[in-house]
Structure 1
Amino acid sequence: MTAVEYDAELDACGLFCPEPVMLLHNRIKDVDPGKVLRVTATDPSTTRDVPRFCQFLGHELVSHTEQGDRYIYLIRRGV
């Protein structure tokens, strides 16, 4: 498996709704437009919340994978 490059990271493991998305909302502001943020979470509700976050705020959900009990998202910041 080829590693996907990213520019910043957010570890939201162990947090529950709404905390992962609240942290994501704050962290994405630190990422330059066009750059990729890697988010790791353990809350299953992120499978619903992260795609909606991206859709509503104009960010691109590059990928979503699951590794054991972890959900990993790559998000390209919009303008």
Structure 2
Amino acid sequence: MGADEFDVELDARGLYCPEPVMLLHNRINDVAPGRVLRVRATDPSTTRDIPRFCQFLGHELINQQETDDEYLYLIRRGE
């Protein structure tokens, strides 16, 4: 699945810990189980926080990419 294949997007750019994960926690509830949420962030702490969020709450981290100034995550919502 490519970075452009998703159903819903969360733009957390410019926000810092813990805001991106707090927004993710709320936004994932708007995504149907099995659908994909793309998260865009600029906070490096998301590289630690978002994989843990997925692991603990049963969501699948499909892809994680880092560009020069942005972090992209594709998360498939679990049941």
Normalised by the size of structure 2, how large is the TM-score? 0.95
When residues 51 and 3 of structure 1 are mapped into structure 2, their CA distance, relative to the original with a 3 A threshold, is: closer
Q: TM-score, normalised by structure 1?
A: 0.95
| Residue 5 of structure 2: aligned partner | 5
What is the letter of the counterpart of residue 71 of structure 1?
Y
CA-atom RMSD, angstroms? Answer: 1.0
Measured in 2, the distance between the counterparts of 1:16 and 1:69 equals 14
Superposition map of 1:51-66 within 5 A: 51-66=51-66
Distance 1:58 1:50, change over 3 A: same
Separation of aligned partners in 1, 2:3 and 2:40: 15
Q: How many residues align?
A: 78
* Counterparts of residues 67-78 of structure 1 (less than 5 Å): 67-78=67-78
Instruction: Give 2:19's aligned amino acid.
Output: E
Q: Which runs of 4+ in 1 moved over 2 A?
A: none
Counting aligned pairs with the same residue, the percent is 74
